[in-house]
Amino acid sequence: MDRLAFATSSFLGHLSVRPSKNVSHRKPPATRPVVASPRMVAVDPSTLIDSEFDPNVPSERGRFGRFGGQYVPETLMVCLEELYENYLKIKDDPIFQEELNGLLTDYVGRPTPLYYAERLSARYARADGSGPQIYLKREDLNHTGAHKINNSLAQVLLARRLGKTRIIAETGAGQHGVATATVCARFGMKCIVYMGAKDMERQALNVFRMRLLGAEVRPVTSGSGTLTNALSEAIRDWVTYPIETHYIVGSVAGPHPYPMMVRDFQACIGKEVREQSMAKWGGKPDILLACVGGGSNAMGLFSDFRNDTDVRLIGVEAAGKGLETEEHAATLTKGTLGVLHGAMSYQLQDKHGMPSEAHSISAGLDYPGVGPEHSYMRDTKRAEYVSVTDDEALDAFKLLSRIEGIIPALETSHAIAYLDKLCASLEGSPKIVINCSGRGDKDVTAVVEYLKKRGDDDIEF
């Protein structure tokens, strides 16, 4: 089942299969025994469970065990194959890497600090002086205020090599849209960003930032008006204008090679953490913690430690209004196997395989799917996945602001919130690194309204 082709509607979230052009469409004579082609689905993938973790994923066909692949209209196969071939070339090209690393240093501001959160650590200290030592990987200090620019910058450089003249992107919280608009402004490229109408309301600041940078922001009113619908509209655009367009997918989702490529472009996060932790305390972290929506910031942190089985990897999803409700975005906790936006992974879906409406207070986690490598790491138990509610995330947003002077994005707040449960289960003084994936300026206006509605009386509005 290396490659299946889907109608455009099924590419966007419905699993009605038709064979690709590599499979014969002719019905064999009744007297001839039918032999399954190696490119046809011979087994139900939902019956296959990956039990052993292989750090050398994906395969050449973009498979992370049973997950991933290329479930796309034939229109896009040429684009994906061209992208894959050129990515392999630039991956080891010293000229490309020198340009990218120079811009990451001088334009983005890398490496970002690994900051010891002294007062946050003291909150979980025990009477005997032991307790977890908590460090924040400060991706919020990047140019544009989040980790997203690591990937957007690299993909724009690649798009220029491919001769593309038009860049499209999707965004939920707006950080990927801002990062893409920023690098397009830097290189003088046309930029179109698709964003759900609901997300545009709660992320009005980022909408203005994108427009100020010269990008066209196209509101998406279909469905719930959130990230899922924005991604679907971006894919429709790409199908319509495949020759001149490069689509900068913002997460480790989508068809191969995007999950691999975005992971690799974000891997600088984990590589820096390894070097910085060795310099600070002469060893590796014991636990890595990050929020998970599509999963790019978590995969960027986890990637360099996949072979280090003595390092726990924990991803925190959005439990929204509670896992017992239907208003959450806990894909790896409550989802089932399906195809969404070009890849097989876990997703929140109805009985027909159509995406369910996800919910999170955080626009960046409000997505019913997840990157295929996260699904693979879940099944093989290489990583643990937990969830945090809206209210818990709001409390963590206030907490980090008040005791460390750092206003975190609502996405990051989910990871901070899990510390209460995690630290209560730990012994000794383990080193915990949390990916502070973005700053919270973009969320302040929305948080004010949430806190007023909740009736918080410990802050003056």
Domain CATH code at residue 294: 3.40.50.1100
Q: Specify whether 117 is located in the same domain as 156.
A: no
- Residue 129's pLDDT is 95
- pLDDT-based confidence at residue 42 (cuts at 50, 70, 90): low
Q: Which pairs with CB-CB distance under 8 Å and at least 24 residues apart come from 417-425?
A: 417/316, 417/388, 417/392, 417/393, 418/289, 418/314, 418/316, 418/386, 418/388, 419/120, 419/124, 419/132, 419/134, 419/289, 420/392, 421/386, 422/132, 422/287, 422/289, 422/314, 423/124, 423/131, 423/132
Give the pLDDT mean for 355-373: 95
Is 148 assigned a catalytic role? yes
Q: Are residues 250 and 394 in the same domain?
A: no
Residue 289 belongs to some domain of the structure: yes
Does residue 248 carry a pLDDT above 70? yes
Q: Does residue 28 carry a pLDDT above 90?
A: no
Q: What is the pLDDT of residue 18?
A: 35
**Is the domain of 441 the same as that of 296?**
yes
Residue 423 has pLDDT above 70, yes or no: yes
Q: Are residues 272 and 418 in the same domain?
A: yes
Whether residue 428 is contained in a domain is answered as yes
Strands 133-137 and 431-435: parallel
Q: State phi, psi for 277 to the nearest 5 degrees.
A: -70, -35
The verdict on 331 and 203 lying in the same domain is: no
152-191 per-position pLDDT tens digit: 999 999 999 999 999 999 999 899 999 999 999 999 999 9
Q: Is residue 357 part of a domain?
A: yes
pLDDT digits (tens, 9 = 90+) for 79-104: 999 999 999 999 999 999 999 999 99
Domain boundary among 228, 246, 261: 261
Measure the CA–CA gap between 260 and 158, rounded to whole angstroms.
Answer: 15
Residues 137, 148, 198, 442: which is the catalytic one? 148
Please tell me whether the overall predicted TM-score, pTM, comes out greater than 0.85 for this model: yes
| pLDDT value at 243 more than 60 | yes
**Whether residue 27 has pLDDT greater than 70:** no
Query: Does pLDDT of 150 surpass 90?
Result: yes
Angle (deg, nearest 10), helices 94-103 and 148-161: 140
Give yes or no: residues 97 and 163 share one domain: yes
Catalytic residue among 10, 139, 170, 362: 170
Is 13 contained in some domain? Answer: no
Domain contains 21? no
Domains of the chain: total:
2
Contact 344, 67 (CB under 8 A): yes
Examine residue 10 and state whether it is found in any structural domain, yes or no: no
235 and 316 part of one domain = no
Same domain, 305 and 411: yes
Is residue 4 in some structural domain? Answer: no
Q: Using the 3D structure, point to which of 204, 230, 261 is the last residue of a domain.
A: 261
- Point out the domain boundary residue: 238, 261, 284: 261
Summarize the confidence of residues 65-76 as an average pLDDT.
94
**Do 119 and 243 reside in the same domain of the chain?**
no
- Tell me: do 200 and 177 sit in the same domain: yes
Specify whether 319 is located in the same domain as 183: no
| pLDDT tier, 43 (very low <50, low <70, confident <90, very high otherwise) | low
86 and 190 both lie in a single domain: yes
The one catalytic residue among 224, 232, 303, 437? 437
> For this structure, is 170 an active site residue?
yes
Does the pLDDT of residue 337 top 70, yes or no? yes
Asked, for residue 33, whether it belongs to a domain, the answer is no
Question: In this predicted structure, which of 68-77, 135-144, 284-293 has the lowest mean pLDDT?
Answer: 68-77
Among 265, 258, 261, 250, smallest CA distance to 101 is for: 265
The whole domain housing 304 covers 109-144+267-451
